Amino acid sequence: MSEPTSPIDPGLDLHSEIVRLRHEMNAVVLAHYYQEPEIQDAADHVGDSLALAQVAARTDADVIVFAGVHFMAETAKILNPDKLVLLPDLAAGCSLADGCPEDEFAAFLAAYPGHEVVSYINCSAATKAMSDVICTSGNALKIVDSIPRDRSIVFAPDRHLGRWVSEQLGREMVLWQGSCEVHEQFSERRLVELQVTNPEAMTAAHPECTEAVLQHADFIGSTAAILNFARECAADTIIVATEPGILHQMQKESPGKTFLTVPGADESCNCNECPYMKLNTLEKLYLCMRDRTPEIVVDPLQAARALAPIERMLALS
Ligand code: 13P
Ligand code: SF4
């Protein structure tokens, strides 16, 4: 965590200061749906990981401020090596990225020569640099389906997303055994209880959830797709099996509907909240812009290698 160079004046209106700095720095502020509502409300663009990568790829801003997690900001930096890319808290990581160390992944791939390597964007620049193409939860089916059927595929690092894609496309893939520590926590028992007490509700789930949870879902998709489903579906009550930060946009888009989140198995903690996403605060967002730090730095050679599979994804999306 970076230390502020000087404390924040308690009289400051942080939202207005962020807007002022945005213009002064010619910055674009991107926020993922899992960020705190006040961060989402201060951003130029709120989206899923695919939409935010697409905005980062085409922005003409000088500075990209990424209110999300490290792999998202790192992707923006790889797409914009000459721009300043800021992340409010450098410790905002991801269990999927952390669970796929460079040397272990290289050894894993060595056991599957000739395979096409598809990596979920939730991974490090080092993993991306060893991949043929990147995908997000929003385009995973399309990306994998673009690979000729006679090619064998390694899919990393999320085994739940990989299993779901494999099942949907009727296509075997070698899966790296990673998982999201948040989505893996959602309780099947509590989900079924919610469905029993709300028989008219529809359930939407993120494909990072376990098979046990996904089997009860009416709809499975990325955060943006879940948001569309919640807006368009006929049900007035929607059970949401993804990080509850997404409820902010859902409630804004469909104020008349009721959204119920699925708790984690251990109800004594807020285990359905992403602890990494929640490291970012409005204060840290303001400070990173005021102080132009912490900055995302990527090894140039690794960045150059990681760029091609990201660009291949963007071209296919
Ligand atoms: P999306 O691709 O749906 O934005 O999901 C990113 C993520 O980290 C989910 O946990
Ligand atoms: Fe990573 Fe899971 Fe957090 Fe998404 S919710 S950023 S996959 S730890």
Per-residue model confidence as pLDDT tens digits over 15-43: 999 999 999 999 999 999 999 999 999 99
Protein residue closest via CA to atom 8 of ligand 2: 94
Per-residue burial over 277-314, b if 16 or more Cβ lie within 10 Å, else e, is bbbbbbebbbbbbbeebbebebeeebbebbbebbebbb
Residue written as token pair 């673009």? 146
Quick one: average pLDDT of 52-64? Answer: 98
Ligand nearest to the CA of 139: 1
Count CB-CB contacts under 10 A for residue 220: 20
pLDDT tens string 235-275: 999 999 999 999 999 999 999 999 999 988 877 778 899 99
CB 49 less than 6 A from any atom of ligand 1: yes
CB 116 less than 6 A from any atom of ligand 1: no
pLDDT tens string 292-317: 999 999 999 999 999 999 999 999 99
Q: What are phi and psi of 309, to 5 degrees?
A: -65, -30
Q: Would you tell me the crossing angle of helices 223-232 and 49-58 to the nearest 10 degrees?
A: 110
pLDDT tens string 84-117: 999 999 999 999 999 999 999 999 999 999 999 9
Ligand nearest to the CA of 274: 2
Provide the whole-model pTM: 0.96
Protein residue closest via CA to atom 4 of ligand 1: 48
Predicted confidence at residue 266, as pLDDT, reads 79
Predicted confidence at residue 6, as pLDDT, reads 85
| Domains of the chain and CATH, by start | 14-92+277-297 (3.40.50.10800), 96-181+305-316 (3.40.50.10800), 183-261 (3.40.50.10800)
Predicted confidence at residue 105, as pLDDT, reads 98
**Calpha distance 124→75 (Å, rounded):** 9
Q: Would you tell me the crossing angle of helices 49-58 and 70-79 to the nearest 10 degrees?
A: 30
Dist. CA 24 → ligand 1 center (Å): 31
What is the band of 3 on the pLDDT scale with cuts at 50, 70, 90? low
Predicted confidence at residue 301, as pLDDT, reads 96
**What DSSP assignment string belongs to 274-309?**
-TTGGG--HHHHHHHHHHT-SBP---HHHHHHHHHH
**Calpha distance 134→151 (Å, rounded):** 16
Question: Is the torsion defined by CA of 184, 188, 193, 198 positive or negative?
Answer: positive
What sections of the chain are H helices per DSSP?
Answer: 14-25, 37-42, 49-58, 70-79, 95-98, 102-110, 125-129, 140-145, 159-169, 188-197, 211-214, 223-232, 247-253, 282-291, 300-316
Dist. CA 233 → ligand 2 center (Å): 26
